[in-house]
Amino acid sequence: MNKINVVISAYNEEKNIKDCLNSVKWADEIILVDNGSTDKTVKIAKKFTDKIFTQPNRLMLNINKNYGFSKAKGDWILSLDADERVTEELKNEIIDATRKKVTGFWVSRKNIIFGQWIKHSIWWPDYQLRLFRKGKGEFPCQHVHEYLQVKGETKKLKNPFLHYNYQTISQYLYKLDKIYTENEAENIIKSGKKLVWQDVLRMPINDFLKTFFAQEGYKDGLHGLVLSLLQSFYALIIFAKVWEKQGFREIEKKHFLTQITSEFKNLAKEFNYWLTQTKLKEEKNPLKKILTRLGKVVQTI
C-alpha cells in the first residue's frame, strides 16, 4: 500500500496549524518545516508529529518546501499550507488517487477571503499541483507565485482544499508588502524588463479590468469589487517598488499633463469596452441587448 507524507512549511501559524494538522492526521507521516516561528506553532505541531525541521524564514519560502520534500520517506507527498484544510471527501479521493499510474494531481482551492467563499476571478477554481510521487516534483524557486513542477503525467482531482486565505485587510497588506510585491519587483529587475511611466496607470487599471470584468469578479459583489481594487493596488505597488529600486528616476515634465490626459482617455475607452461587454453578457432580454449594442455604436461615431 502506498504511503502518503504531508509536508507543511509554516511561520508563526499558531492560529491555523492545529486545524491544518488535524485535517491530515490520517496521513502516514507529517513533516513540518518551521521557518523560525516565534509563537506556539512548533509546540502545537509536536502534538501531531515529531518530524519537525527548522529553516530560516526565507523570502523564497518554496526553498523550505523543497527541503521538506527531501525529508519525506513515503511513496507520495501532499504539499500543504498552514491555512489549508483537507476535507473528508478530498482525503478519500487522495488515497484512491495514489493507486493510479499518474505522477501528480492538481487540487482546486475554495478560497475563503474576508469571511466569504470567493467563487470567481483568480480565486476559483485556483488549481494547485500538490499531490505527487516522491522524487518526481519540486518548486523551481524563481518567484513566489509559481507552481510545483512534476516530471510525468498529471491529472485533476474533483474535491477542493479549504483555503482560509486573507481574513483581514491588514493580513493582505502585510503579505503584499513583505512577500509578494518585493519578490515580483526583484524578478522584473533581474529579467531586464523595461517599465515605462505609463505603466503606473496601465498596470493597476488593467489588473482591475481583468479581475473584475474579464474574470467575473463582479459576481462576488462587494467582496469581488474590493478584491479587484486590492489586486489593482498590488500592481501599483509592484511598479512603485521597481521605480524605487531604479532610484526614483524622473521623466520630462514639460508635456506631462497632456500625456496623462491622453493616457486616461485611452484607459477610459478600455473601461467602457469591458463594461459594455459585461452588460451584454449579463443581459437576458434580446431587445435590451440590441439597444446596448446600438448605444456602443453611437458612442464610437
Domain shared by 106 and 121, yes or no: yes
Q: Is the pLDDT of residue 249 over 50?
A: yes
End residue of a domain, out of 148, 163, 178: 163
118 and 177, same domain (yes or no): no
Of the candidates 31, 22, 8, 27, the one whose C-alpha atom is nearest the C-alpha of residue 98 is: 27
The answer to whether residue 5 scores a pLDDT higher than 80 is yes
Average pLDDT on 15-22 reads: 98
On whether the CB atoms of residues 6 and 24 are closer than 8 A, the answer is: yes
Residues 11 and 132 both lie in one domain: yes
Work out how many domains the chain is built from and give that number. Answer: 2
Residue 168 or residue 293, greater confidence: 168
Handedness of CA 38, 148, 162, 213 (dihedral sign): positive
Domain range for 257: 169-300
Length of the chain: 301
Whole-structure pTM value = 0.88
pLDDT-derived band of residue 235, with 50, 70 and 90 as boundaries?
very high
157 and 179 part of one domain: no
Q: Measured between alpha carbons, how far is 86 from 164 in angstroms, rounded to an integer?
A: 12
pLDDT at 242: 96
- Model confidence at 184: pLDDT above 50: yes
152-172 mean pLDDT: 97
Q: Which residue has the higher pLDDT, 281 or 75?
A: 75
